Amino acid sequence: MKKFFPNKTALYALLAACFVVCATMGVRQTFGLYSSEFEISGGTSNTEFGLAIAIHAIFWGIFTPVFGRISDKFGGYIVIIPALIFYSIAMFLMGSNYISGIWLQVNLGLFVGLGLAGAAGTILTPMISKHFPNENRSKAAGLVTACGGLGMFIFPILASIFKNISTWQLSFILFSIILLLMCIPGLFVKLPETNISSSNTNIDNRSLREVLKESLSHRGFRLLILGFFVCGFQITLVATHVPRYVQDRGLEDWTGFAILSLIGLFNIIGVLTMGYLGDKYSKKMLLSGLYFFRAISIGLFIFLPPSQISALAFGVTFGFLWLATVPATNGIVAQIFGTKNISMLFGIVFLNHQIGSFLGAYL
């Protein structure tokens, strides 16, 4: 049996990516908890709040393949560090009450979008995949994505604690400091020492235009894009509006915190399970089943009478399926097209995910 880490560079890159993704994805998971606070403190309507989330979703999507192309050439840290700085600035400004009008759209929209595009799991996962051979790639992707889930579990709890002992603004200031500190591990996400072989590298040495033409003409790649569009619509809709939705249906405020934390916790189990299964079984069949069970989970949550039990059950089931799409989708892209351009190609898939996210947040 081959050892899991090909070299020390792969080990350091994976550990560093886990820390960064835990922070970036964790902070993002808290935004839906503050829509009421923004309305009280800044007069921000729920529509304006949803628009800001939609804007950061679309900027996240647009810049992910751009940053992916840069990281494929020069290494992940080149984009991770500036992205974390943008993200940190956004949190600091919002913690300083710059949450009204255009400030909200710039901070929660543009700056957070740039931060996520360069430092979220959606770009770090393919960066790390470059370090591992095909038989371990889904497991490595699963570990990075699982750490995003860990952040999604921890940070809503931290947000609740900070709000209770002080103010919601304190949460944003502390999150700003945490994001800035993540620049330190971000420096260790570099290109692999040697090229990792994959089952198909026939487009690795082609120009950017040829790579795009080859991938977009592939039917499986187009279907992945369609699936990720649906994925984006669902998870951004849930993260942005479910906390307010459960309040509107008469449930207590803590239910929204509980749902988002349960999603984060069970997301860890889901992505690790999918990462393990993705290296053993058909990735496309696993994705197909995952989307089917997502539909069941959402349908039951909407149509069952509102209760704490059904809300918590939704957090558990949807959490298990939350980001479990990422290891399999990333693995399919690498398996078909090789790893040299994987950050950019996965970024193109993710761009369509974010078009779905825009609609899920704003509509």
> From the CB of residue 161, how many other CB atoms can be counted at a distance below 10 Å?
11
Rg, Å, the chain Cα set:
19
Sign of torsion over alpha carbons 109, 126, 207, 337: negative
Residue 129 one-letter amino acid:
S
**Distance between CA atoms of 53 and 228, rounded to whole angstroms?**
18
C-alpha pair distances (Å), 240 with each of 110, 155, 315, 344: 17, 15, 14, 27
**Distance between CA atoms of 312 and 310, rounded to whole angstroms?**
6
Under 8 Å between Cβ of 118 and 79: yes
> From the CB of residue 163, how many other CB atoms can be counted at a distance below 10 Å?
17
> From the CB of residue 131, how many other CB atoms can be counted at a distance below 10 Å?
27
Q: Which two tokens stand for residue 46?
A: 């729920």
pTM as predicted: 0.76
Per-residue pLDDT of the chain (363 residues; tens, 9 = 90+): 457 777 888 889 999 999 999 999 999 888 878 888 888 888 888 788 888 988 988 899 889 888 888 888 888 899 999 999 999 999 999 999 898 889 999 999 999 999 999 999 888 988 888 888 777 777 888 888 888 888 988 898 888 888 888 888 888 999 999 999 999 999 998 888 765 544 444 445 556 677 777 777 788 788 888 888 888 898 888 888 888 888 888 887 788 878 888 888 898 888 888 878 877 788 888 888 888 999 999 899 889 888 888 889 999 998 888 878 877 777 777 777 766 667 777 777 888 888 888 888 888
